Structure 1
Amino acid sequence: MSAQRNLSGHRPVGYAIWLIVASVVGWWAAFQLTLDKLEVLAHPKAALGCDISAFVQCGANLESWQGSVFGFPNPLIGLTGWMAPLVVGVAILAGARFPRWFWALFGLGITGAFVFIAWLIGQSFFALHTLCPWCGLTYIVVIPTFLATIQQLFANGTFPISRSAQETARKLGVWVPLASILAFAVVVVLAQSAGVDLVGEVVRLVRG
């Protein structure tokens, strides 16, 4: 049985559209961070457009060791990594059918991205005490993408579960947005526990 066509030929169009949207948003955030990194390299004391306040800024993140974990700027990972969900999303809409091993590898990659982002959130709040705007935008799309992908892996037969369990997993897709909101709430709680008034900062920025 194909992992893509299951449960009477169900094709996850909504999931595919989300992958495309998330990829475009995530790639744009990575691109902006790359431009900021180049600006810092060319002009070390330059004031970046994303440096809004002592807390909301990306300069500290880009210049820290956490901003280049693998020996090169983290944004370069996003510039290349977001291409995979984009291609998968477009392929699903075009009617492509992927084998189980493909979905397993794709899920592994998305999980790796989620773990990396979770680590960066902790480092940003508890070590750097900052929130990078473009990083925050990345968090907003990575978290739902991870949750939706895990749901899809259960629904499309990647995990060896019964047809009835697959049907249940497919129906759980409508709960991914709520689960994402709850995950964002956890991020806010982490910020508060780190001594960062995330909600208050956002309100101040909105008020100008």
Structure 2
Amino acid sequence: MSASSTRARPVFLAVWLIVAGVIGWIAAFALTTERIHLLQDSTATASCDFNLVVQCGANLTSWQGSVFGFPNPLLGVTGWVAPIVVGAAILAGARFSRWFWLAFWAGIALAFGFVVWLISQSIFVLGTLCPWCMVTWFVTIPTFYAVTLHLLRSGVIPVPRRARSAAAGLIAWVPLMAVLSYVAIAVVAQVRLDWIGFL
């Protein structure tokens, strides 16, 4: 089934994709400039290094910060352009084929999985909370929820009618789902790192 079969354009999703894309791109660009700064001066500290727990430097200079052989933020600088373009295209009246939505969803799902892994590495291995990284977490998590539920409710991802109806009902709860995810991360980080004590 094509996404064009959806009777109404997902305007709210489109607006969120643009907002999330812009926020995510800004965070990725900031992390990229910080990484360049650290490469230029090995004795320097990142401007987002506030204390032992809340900092960017440890994340950027770790192997986890360059999983694919180059700084992770470069993935964001390029990748966050896609939601912006897709969101703008939807607002302009574009209708995408099923294969396009599935490819877009695959990219969002991979980003979500990568972010979950980075969260675990940050909290349990590096022992830090990177401010700009957390901005990326902040927008990636609800974006994955929103896109997944939209594709379920519109039939792009083939599921029974009952599941489509459930997805249609749940999409209004994406903000709450995101907040609950943030709270879960904050609680785990507090138990592991006592980040509140470093504020």
Deviation at 1:62, TM superposition (A): 0.7
SS at match of 1:114: helix
Partner of 1:3: 3
Work out which of the residue numbers 21, 24, 37 in structure 2 matches 1:23: 21
Cα contact 1:188–1:199 (8 A) shared by 2: no
- Distance (Å, rounded) in 2 between the aligned partners of 1:39 and 1:163: 53
What letter matches 1:123 in structure 2? Answer: Q
Alignment of 1:48-67 (within 5 A): 48-67=46-65
* Cα RMSD after superposing both structures: 1.5
What letter matches 1:45 in structure 2? Answer: T
Is the deviation greater in 181-190 or in 37-46?
A: 181-190
Cα contact 1:50–1:58 (8 A) shared by 2: yes
The reply on whether 1:91 has 2:81 as its aligned counterpart is no
Work out which of the residue numbers 183, 186, 189 in structure 2 matches 1:185: 183
Cα contact 2:59–2:122 (8 A) shared by 1: yes
The superposition leaves residues 50-83 of structure 1 with CA deviations (integer Å, 9 ceiling, x where unpaired) of 0111111101111100000000000000000101
- Distance (Å, rounded) in 2 between the aligned partners of 1:87 and 1:156: 20
TM-score, structure 1 normalization: 0.90
SS at match of 1:144: helix
Gaps of 5+ in 1: none
- Distance (Å, rounded) in 2 between the aligned partners of 1:126 and 1:132: 13
Q: How many residues align?
A: 199
Partner of 1:47: 45
Cα contact 2:54–2:195 (8 A) shared by 1: no
Gaps of 5+ in 2: none
Work out which of the residue numbers 131, 137, 144 in structure 1 matches 2:142: 144
TM-score, structure 2 normalization: 0.94
The reply on whether 1:197 has 2:191 as its aligned counterpart is no
Partner of 2:127: 129
The superposition leaves residues 10-32 of structure 1 with CA deviations (integer Å, 9 ceiling, x where unpaired) of 21100100000000000000000
SS at match of 1:73: coil
